[in-house]
Structure 1
């Protein structure tokens, strides 16, 4: 009985310990939408619903040293904000960032959940003219700032679905400091982003993407 229990324990442990063994470069393109956007400035305007569209690409290296589940790389995206008009909150961004992804486990040989983090710099630009409360145009520039994100996702044969919380720091520098925005105005915002993507490396070299990733370990036979 003890040997039988030991055998079942080994089988159960094996089912939760698939070695990812993904290796080589990973090139992933994705498109997404953001919602539940919030602003952190003196002219706060919360916006609900899906607000701005995004497209981006990541280049990652899988299998860092002895950490087979770890992927490191760089990425960039373009975020077009269409949530509010004619305020300092209405700006688009190009985040450039470092990315770290950790593949947690393989489920049923085909599903790979993961966690991911972003950290970098966002190049920001106004999407439209800014106007004051009297309807007059306000001239100025949107400054760049810190970009960060943390999220979770799941991959199935190279296709991914991802949910990420992100923040963008920005500052609107007005040309006429005596006008409505008094020179410089903080324009930070955070949001949740839902995106779908595909790892092009899975099409070029499936074995380096998911075939070896779903290889099960050898079980120990207990007599």
Structure 2
């Protein structure tokens, strides 16, 4: 009888510990794709900065997928290489909360503060890239005053993007996204912006 009592006590302790687990740091990624043509394919959640980190994967079904876990870091969602021409790789911050992913040729990640901020920066960057391409095409065919005006417009757009990135980094500070994006965007800033950014991060 005493063995059964010990077993009951152990089981009760396990249940109590399991029930007391803190889920406040958990994330859930819920994603959709544009059609069922990708059903049966695997989608991967890969660490961006830790090559030895755990790679999670799930099989796509009914044009949807989901991941759940804990631990905040920047990861990338991707399919196998040949499908990345159709479905854009997407950065995602695995911060606590429900993260919504629309995987497509131009995808999006929203639902939590850092992912909303990253999506805002991504949309700005994609818009600028399209505008840069258009201006460069026009510059090839321009001459004289028109060429000078277009060159100035190109410079102004680059200054606007630099200012956007600077304010973005200041807002994110030293959170997970901020630290990751500083490595990419800091070299594009002016010396004065770098100084101001350093002051804001103290």
TM range (shorter): under 0.3
Greater share of helix residues, 1 or 2?
2
The structure whose RCO (Cα within 8 Å, separation 6+) is larger is: 1
TM-score by length of structure 2 reads: 0.27
